[in-house]
Amino acid sequence: MLKSLLIDPEKCTSCLQCEMACSFEHEGAFNPAKSRIKVFEFEHGRRAIPYTCTQCAEAWCLHACPVEALSRNTETGAVELDEAICVGCKVCTIACPFGTINYNADSGKVAKCDLCGGDPQCAEACPTGAITYVDANWTGLERMKQWAVKTDSQAPNQSPGA
Amino acid sequence: MDYVVLGAGPAGVIAAETLRRMDRGGRVTLVGDEPEAPYSRMAIPYLLAETVEEEGTHLRHGAGHYDARQIELRQDRAAGIDVADARVRLEGGESLAYDKLLIATGSRPTRPPIPGMDLPGIESCWTLEDARRIIAGTREGARVVLMGAGFIGCIVLEALARRKVELTVVEMAPRMLARMMDDVGGDMIERWCEARGVAVKTGTRVEAIERNDDVLTLKLGEAGELEADLVVCATGVQPNLELLEGSGVETEFGILVDARLATNVENIHAAGDVAQGPDFSTGARAVHAIQPTASEHGRIAALNMAGRETAYRGSLSMNVLNTLGLISSSFGLWEGAEGGERAVAADREGFKYLRLEFRDDVLVGALALGLTQHVGVIRGLVQTGVRLGAWKDRLLRDPHQVMHAYLERARSRP
Ligand SMILES: Cc1cc2nc3c(=O)[nH]c(=O)nc-3n(C[C@H](O)[C@H](O)[C@H](O)COP(=O)(O)OP(=O)(O)OC[C@H]3O[C@@H](n4cnc5c(N)ncnc54)[C@H](O)[C@@H]3O)c2cc1C
Ligand code: SF4
């Protein structure tokens, strides 16, 4: 059964445990700057929004990659990067309309959320339940992802057939 | 159904794969004229920089990728199209019947019409074959002159610099990246390069090249002369249109296609660098010779060829570039929209720059230097045309709030 990250910003206290856990999982060090999930804080109104890749069906990054460094993990549904293949051209970073695949100057490659292979550490670390890992069929999730449809490069009501 | 795809670059390969997915029983033939496995030109700089081997430039990995999808890959060159018989003539002598034909033959480099441009030691940087020659001609410390500092020129600049050559860049226009950066950004990139040991001569025209004893001499008019062991020319490209002669397919700069990537001739589509299709920003038709457009064109053309009517909203002109570690990007109408407004934050000494262009309260274009995190949301905002409301004024005061504006305005809430 596919699962997805569900983010409920109302519950986020901006404690940054998710960023710490993510960077530790992927970089082996607590370094929020290298986290693939990012908490954005606001001065106006809303307090904080944790933000990361939704593993969208369109997979803009994957289709734009010139060397097939990105592929879909059929078990988790995540679009994963093969670092050995990535040349670091950054085309995926401008192709993704959500801004959730980013260049890392230290590695010379990009980085994105891979759902930690099915055990996302951000959700594990979040003490308030602002990030949970839920059944992908859950309806609230579809609504959260609706915006993805609007960004499609095709006319409305056309599925990408990917 | 017989599908024939001409050109085995990104547009052609993605189209062939999509055709296969959409029509399990159809015949898909992919014709490419290069003696290589299908590869991505844009990976060539990383071959020059020795980040990858040749296989690393290939579009698809894994043995038998095309066989497994029953895509017949043929190495041959299309010579012409007989529209009345619905056949493509190949230079090898055969001809292929098609029910649906895709032209994805890409573009090729051009050279300025000056004396000496065809001398040995002057290379383009377009194909794997070019790359092999450049690699052979650039030992450490070799004197290399790069002609052209446009987008492709600047990518090649980065790759050559990594080969530790003594590099000089000559550009006719008054600044680097004249079509991707404004004066502020172009000036920052130029100073950045100079500070890292690359000599940049903008506003300089090469008038002739001569060759004596393996040494090339570039005549620069009033700017004197330059000696080089190798010259790399990146002064422009033009679409490959020759095979269309007599076909009746309408062309302007490229092959004119509609929102379905169809040409004016029935059953003939075009995609990628060779196609002049709808421009998302202007509604006019333009050639956007970039990878994301090639990939979108290839997919959408194939959907339509296979009978799934799909309209394209147009390609967004966008680029991202790494110039010796300084990362820049451009999106859409970065020069501004008529009657629109502009937000600018420039730190000339810190090499950081962000310029946003609005029409009403919609983001229509942007330039960024030194911005790598979440830069894709600029595309998201431009392409969705989301109204920024009160956030526009905040962005006019501080363009760096763009990610916050995106989160507040563009994301739907559960
Ligand atoms: C050095 C370099 C760096 C680049 N960097 C970037 C970048 O960073 N970002 C970006 O977005 N874009 C970049 N590009 C541009 C990008 O590579 C092109 O937009 C893309 O390759 C276009 O794909 P295409 O399939 O339309 O054409 P191509 O990749 O050119 O493929 C067309 C193929 O058709 C073949 N062909 C031509 N005529 C015939 C014929 N008559 N019969 C059979 N086959 C034929 C050609 O030989 C070629 O193999 C770069 C290009 C170069 C050269
Ligand atoms: S940066 Fe890496 S993953 Fe992204 S498009 Fe380029 S090669 Fe592919």
Q: Is B40 exposed, middle or buried (0-12, 13-18, 19+ CB in 10 A)?
A: buried
Instruction: State whether residue A105 is helix, strand or coil.
Output: coil
* Low-confidence spans in chain B with pLDDT less than 70: 412-414
* pLDDT of res. B140: 87
Residues of B with CB below 8 A from A160's CB? 299
Structure-model confidence comparison of residues A37 and A156, the more confident one: A37
Any alpha helices (H) in A9-138, and if so which ranges?
17-27, 60-64, 91-95, 121-125
Residues of A with CB below 8 A from B373's CB? 38, 99, 102
Enclosing H/E stretch for B295: helix B291-305
Average pLDDT of chain A is: 86
Per-residue tokens: B163: 């080969």
As a whole number of angstroms, the distance between CA B268 and CA B81 comes to 10
Residues 211-270 in B contacting A (C-alpha not used; CB under 8 Å): 259
Per-residue tokens: B171: 């550009």
Of B60, B280, B295, the CB nearest to A63: B295
Give me the CATH code for the A3-150 domain, please: 3.30.70.20
- Give strand pairing partners of A3: A135
Q: Give the number of the atom of ligand 1 that is nearest the alpha carbon of residue B36.
A: 49
* CATH superfamily label, B122-233: FAD/NAD(P)-binding domain (3.50.50.60)
As a whole number of angstroms, the distance between CA B115 and CA B290 comes to 30
Question: Which residues of chain B does CATH 3.30.390.30 include?
Answer: 325-412
Q: Give the number of the atom of ligand 1 that is nearest the alpha carbon of residue B125.
A: 1
Residues of A with CB below 8 A from B414's CB? 8, 140-141, 143-144
As a whole number of angstroms, the distance between CA B262 and CA B7 comes to 16
Residue B261: CB within 6 Å of ligand 1? no
One DSSP character per residue, B121-181 reads: TEEES-SHHHHHHHHHH--TT-EEEEE--SHHHHHHHHHHHHTT-EEEEE-SSSSTTTTT-
Per-residue tokens: B84: 């009345």
Cβ of residue A38 closer than 8 Å to a chain B Cβ: yes
User: Tens digit of pLDDT for each residue in B26-53?
Assistant: 999 999 999 999 999 999 999 999 999 9
Please enumerate in sequence order all residues whose Cβ is within 8 A of that of A55, keeping only pairs 6 or more positions apart, or say none: A4, A77, A78, A79, A113, A115
Ligand 1 pocket check: which of B276, B291, B323 to mutate, most ligand atoms within 8 Å of Cβ? B291
Cβ contact (<8 Å) for B383 and A147? no
**Residue written as tokens 């550490």?**
A121
Residue B106: CB within 6 Å of ligand 1? yes
Q: How confident is the model at residue A143 (pLDDT cuts 50, 70, 90)?
A: low
* pLDDT of res. A46: 59
- pTM of the full structure: 0.94
φ/ψ bin of B133: left (φ > 0), alpha (ψ from -120 to 50), beta (otherwise): alpha
Ligand 2 pocket check: which of A83, A85, A92, A114 to mutate, most ligand atoms within 8 Å of Cβ? A92
* CATH superfamily label, B2-108+237-305: FAD/NAD(P)-binding domain (3.50.50.60)
* pLDDT of res. B62: 83
Q: Give the number of the atom of ligand 2 that is nearest the alpha carbon of residue A81.
A: 3
One DSSP character per residue, B319-344 reads: EEEEETTEEEEEEESTT--TT-EEEE
As a whole number of angstroms, the distance between CA A69 and CA B154 comes to 23
Residue A146 clears pLDDT 90, i.e. is over it: no
Residues 139-158 in A contacting B (C-alpha not used; CB under 8 Å): 140-141, 143-144, 146-147, 150-155, 158
Per-residue tokens: A25: 């999982």
For residue A1, give how far its alpha carbon lies from the nearest alpha carbon of chain B (Å).
Answer: 22
Atom 29 in ligand 1: residue holding the nearest Cα: B9
CATH number 3.30.390.30 is the correct assignment for the domain at B325-412: yes
* ipTM of the shown complex: 0.95
Residue A141 clears pLDDT 80, i.e. is over it: no
* pLDDT of res. B53: 96
Domain locations along chain A: 3-150
User: Tens digit of pLDDT for each residue in B149-159?
Assistant: 999 999 999 99
Cβ contact (<8 Å) for B410 and A147? yes
Q: How confident is the model at residue A11 (pLDDT cuts 50, 70, 90)?
A: very high
Cβ of residue B164 closer than 8 Å to a chain A Cβ: no
User: Tens digit of pLDDT for each residue in A42-69?
Assistant: 876 557 899 999 999 999 999 999 999 9
Residue closest to B8 by CA, chosen among B262, B274, B349, B225? B274
**Ligand 1 centroid vs A92 CA: distance in angstroms?**
17
Q: How confident is the model at residue A139 (pLDDT cuts 50, 70, 90)?
A: low
